[in-house]
Structure 1
């Protein structure tokens, strides 16, 4: 039988168990709290490890981007050296390649994830712009070689052609234009060429336009400017054709640019022509040369003869007045000395200088009138000395230029007589000096006109020769008289002594020859002929006339067949005589 339970002890044990249970429960609650706090403490550490991995990945991406950007930057830096050097130094093909590489880098950056890296993109853009400007400058230089600045006055004579660009310059410009196509800058190229070509044309037209408008009398500037403008149009158009050969669209574009620019100027010239002719009709005292100039210009612009009929008739009336004024001035000319160039001659030369600039106005104006319509009635004496056959074959312009010359010379001779020049030799030297001045002046009117025959025609040259011959014969009158003293009238042979009468005749011949020869020498020197060509010619004519006669006369009588006192009568031996003549050179 079981032992009896101690209730007191049992109760006490149960109480302890209950307390222990409460402590355990409390401990578990504490552990739970500690666990929660520990978890809260450990959670940030876990997140930190996760972020650290992300940071590492980002750093790797950044380093990769920096590497890529560095490659772009180094590429641009390498290209910068060539871009700054310019196409002339690097070479056109290599320069175009470098410029395209810059554009490629720029486009790559813009299409990549690096498009927000503005500094590098801006740098690429600046380098690209700088390179394009370098090529543009190179293009401008090449265009200027093909169309260099013109010295417009050099081509205002209507004869000198504006030169075309060389084959080398054309090829160089064409190559540069092809480069613009390679770098996709064709619009910039065409804009540059158009601007340069327009500037070239405007500059070429600017100075002569100011030079022409409001020009003075007798300048033929309007005609010259019109001819220059047409010359410029043709030369520039031909140059454009050479440069853009094989490119019809470009030929048409630049050809139109040239034609439009020139046509605007020609329209302005045409208005000036119309204005001039209108003023002439309304005001008869208007400058005659302005009318002639407008006729020449209108002809260049394409006016027909029927269009010009009214102006030509007016021109004929102007010419009539001018020629009659020349006639009057030469008849009343003041003649200071025998060897002086008359002011009337200078005036006549001035008129001729001006008239030769208007061949259309002159010929058409004169063709509309009968021959020598300008002369008063009855015709002056000098006109009757010119054969009608000569008048009929001369073209109008040549006839009237010849008339001016002949009129001047005959009138000067009349004025010389009125001034007291009684000897024919005086009138001869006056005529020769003025004829030489006229011929020299005409030969220098234009560098391409080296002879008077160019202006007055072959028959006019015959006229000039006739006037020269007549004047020379007048000049030699006194020398011919001197030569008469050397004509031997003795009839004795070498073996027969001279009669007393013959001896006296020889003495008289030597005496007269010596005195008159010295007078003529001094007179010839006093003429003071400044024209060296004329002076030499006169010396040759005198020498040709006198020297053979004197030498023959001297050789025949130097032995003393007419006197014992030879030195008294023979003043010059042959050497001394030639020396005396040579003093006239």
Structure 2
């Protein structure tokens, strides 16, 4: 019991001790809180004092910072205001010296600096800089002008006219600008183009294009001027009526010179200018030379029109030469085709109209012939017309081009349809179904038909009798046939020879019509007595002329004698007429053969039956079979 009580007292004592410890700690905590509250109160008071002290100082510091920034801005502005004057002072001396004295590289660098400074100065938009902007603008303009002048001067050094024949005859390329000059010109052009782009100018509006064309254009014109003059001079002929011969005009050489000079110029341009400027510069540069070409072609065209029948071939040659030149330059440069087309148009129109005009000229010349040869000989206009067609074959390509543009038979329209465009047609540009050679063959046959029809019409009232008219037509048709077969016309007209042969056949029919009269005298009836048998017929050996005549009455015998007499008269007259006519060898052989085939069988039959009518005296029977055969042989 006592132990239990002691233990509990001990526990209570221990609890009281713990409570006392806790109370002691609470008191300390209260005292600490009191001190903290006092400290916070004092700190709050101190903070208000610090704020009141520091506030004005911070405001002053901020204002000082703003002021410093403004001062820096003012200093910077002052520097910018002073800069133009410094730039002008630094660059003006170089620009005044010019690119030659200062050196192109130094001059370009100076101008570029001025350009850059001017651009930056304009962006400041300060009123105080207006005078500086004006000064730098004048300085830059002066520098650009000097560069353009220098560019022009460098170009002129290599732009003295040259003798093109030297390069053409030796097959040498035309000279280009030297590499050194190309480099210097390229530097200047690059700067000017860049400056223009900065100023807002449209692409391709650089003044250097005009400067280049202004120097090189006259160079090209002067270089080619002698060739142009030679083309006109070589068109003049010593013999006015002589046909133009292919290649005798200077236009071919002129075109070669123009091609060489233009291609060299195009290479120069490609080395100096940007791709988008090539075409414009090239057209500007070549325009003067093409204008001179156009003037030359107009002068040649006037000559051709005044001598169309002899010089139409020059028109065809010019068309071929200029079309080839235009195509060649277009393939290489892509330019100038419209300009060449416009220059060529007058000659091309003359070439087109010449086809109809030559046909009309043929008819007109036949109609104005003062006479037809009495011996029915062929007239010179036939060979002249065929010579013209033969010569046309030498110019078949340009003529085919013209004929395709006219269309088959287009030459039958009026000679002045002339409704073409300014484009140079090429064979590849037409309908693939069109065949210029076939159209030319058609034109040739139309020409031949017009010629022979006009000759027939002219010969009818002037030649007496169908015999002479027939020989006349056959002669001219034979010359036509011969000149086709003995020339390059033959492959073109081989399928149309029947159109020519019909005229020769027409002539032969007219000629042989006159021989119907002696043929009529050789026709008879079979004379028989009522009681006798019909006279035998068949081979000569089976015919007994004496027996046949014995069965005839005196009146019938007299009729036979008259037939022989009339035949002899008519036959002799026709033979004499035949021998008096002037025939081409082929015509004489043809007509002799036809007359023989027509007369000899009839005469031999008649002779076999009735040659005993004059008992071999020859009074009525002038020809035996052998002698009449000899006569026919003499005709050929």
Provide the TM-score with structure 1 as the length reference: 0.47
Please say which structure displays the higher CA radius of gyration.
2
Provide the TM-score with structure 2 as the length reference: 0.43
